[in-house]
Amino acid sequence: MIPKYTLRCVQGGETVPEHYTLSCPDGHPSLLRAEYATKQLTVRDLPGIFRFSDWLPVHGSLPVDAGPVTFHSEALSRELGLSSLVIGFNGYWPERGGTIMTCSFKELEALPTVVRMQEQRPATLVIASAGNTARAFLQVSALTGIPVVVVVPETAVSRLWTTAPVNNAVVIAVKGDYTDAIRFSKEVCSIPRFLEEGGAKNVARRDGMGTVMLDAAVTIGHMPDYYFQAIGSGTGGIAAYEAALRLIGDGRFGFALPSLHLSQNLPFVPMVSAWNEQRRHFVPETDMPDAKAAISKVYSDVLTNREPPYAIAGGVFDSLSATNGQMYAVTNEEAKVAEKLFMEFEGPDLDPAASVCVASLIRACESGMIEKKKTVLLNITGGGYQRVREDFALIAVRPSFTVEAGASIESIQKELLELVKTHV
Ligand SMILES: *Cc1c(COP(=O)(O)O)cnc(C)c1O
């Protein structure tokens, strides 16, 4: 029997066995990519994101409605002088069919990831997050009972809430930034049967995010010319590129790759800095000087990954290169102005990262970076927080542990194992 999908090393080109595999066993500094046996996409009669199950690295599905939503913008499109502005809305907006309760596209990553884990390597999944990813995985855990451990910077704890009670998850807060949380999550994964979720290296996460591009293509009948997204790791940009490659292979949605227009928030803009000099590798003094201070000043801290998959084969640099991409460095002020404009013309409130993205689109329109007659897909990666608060009694999720940045696992290992045994 032909397997539904195989994993391939982007750099070496060899196929790789699937055991929730995250990196190339031959040691190539490369992402793995899922290749699907089905070359033509059939939109399935399954809930939410699982409509796109053909191109997700899972066999089963979950009874969760969260999925991408695509619509043609009228008001904002006219305001910006665009002929065809298509919005991919990932958040809570019931009138438009937006049912992502935790209000960001991280739920699109969480859903296929937990299914892939259960099918390929049942374990306790460990997720490091600046907040939105943690909330997404906690929500999926709440709805399905699938156990997770999430590790977040202490400053993100106030963003941990769900719309259903969480009974099978443990939260660890780290006194540091997102990168410190990532480092501590690696400590947790040193315990047997605790599995690193994998971030950008996880094909389920990328192909989950890639459904934004798929939904846009099936909704409007073709791929867009431009794809706008604010990035911290760039996983969503890579995912959009990979989804577009599959759509080209499908043959019904056009044959030109959408150009990636990706943005970061000043003063922390390492990928903009490196890309503008056409460098694959970061020069930390140039690209992220005084990183901690810069990170503390941005409007959108989900965009502040210090170790993004930029240089790795198949990563952000390659995706920008392949699609003739552009990067934008957006100020806090521009983001806030863009947010007001979006709310005025389209309605819902935005995640600050989505505001950064809207600001980049405004800049692109004003500076002639794009042809206004062409089709723009604007990925609103998060929004609808005000509305979800009105419609649901949100349940705050508290940390079980708080650790110092750079702490080792020994300090909490025994207690964590006991907690996981009884609750997870
Ligand atoms: C994580 C996140 C981003 C950045 O996504 P990446 O593609 O992983 O860099 C943008 N917007 C929101 C709302 C997010 O939560």
- Tens-place pLDDT, residues 57-92: 999 999 999 999 999 999 999 999 999 999 999 999
Residue 2 covered by a domain: no
Does residue 360 line the site of ligand 1, with CB under 6 A? no
Is the pTM higher than 0.95?
yes
> Does 282 lie in the same domain as 327?
yes
Count CB neighbours of 321 within 10 A. 13
pLDDT of residue 256: 98
The pick from 90, 101, 132 for probing ligand 1's pocket by mutation, whose C-beta has the most ligand atoms within 8 angstroms, reads 132
Identify whether 56 is part of a domain.
no
Q: Is residue 49 a part of any domain in this protein? A: no
Same domain, 378 and 398: no
How many distinct structural domains can be found in the chain? 2
Residues 96 and 159 in one domain: no
- The tens digit of pLDDT for each residue in 250-280 reads 999 999 999 999 999 999 999 999 999 999 9
**Residue 199, in any domain of the structure:** no
**Domain encompassing residue 410:** 124-192+394-423
Same domain membership, residue 302 and residue 162: no
pLDDT at 424: 56
**Å from CA of 413 to ligand 1 middle:** 30
More confident residue, 130 or 4: 4
Residue 255 lies in a domain: yes
- Whether 383 and 402 map to the same domain: the answer is no
Is residue 364 located within the same domain as residue 245?
yes
Regarding whether 89 and 218 lie in a shared domain, the answer is yes
Ligand 1 midpoint to CA 230 (Å):
7
Same domain, 209 and 95: yes
Task: Note whether residue 108 is domain-resident.
Answer: no
- The answer to whether residue 297 is domain-embedded is yes
Judgement on whether residues 309 and 365 belong to the same structural domain of the protein: yes
CATH code for the domain of 297: 3.40.50.1100
Residue 21 lies inside a defined structural domain of this protein: no
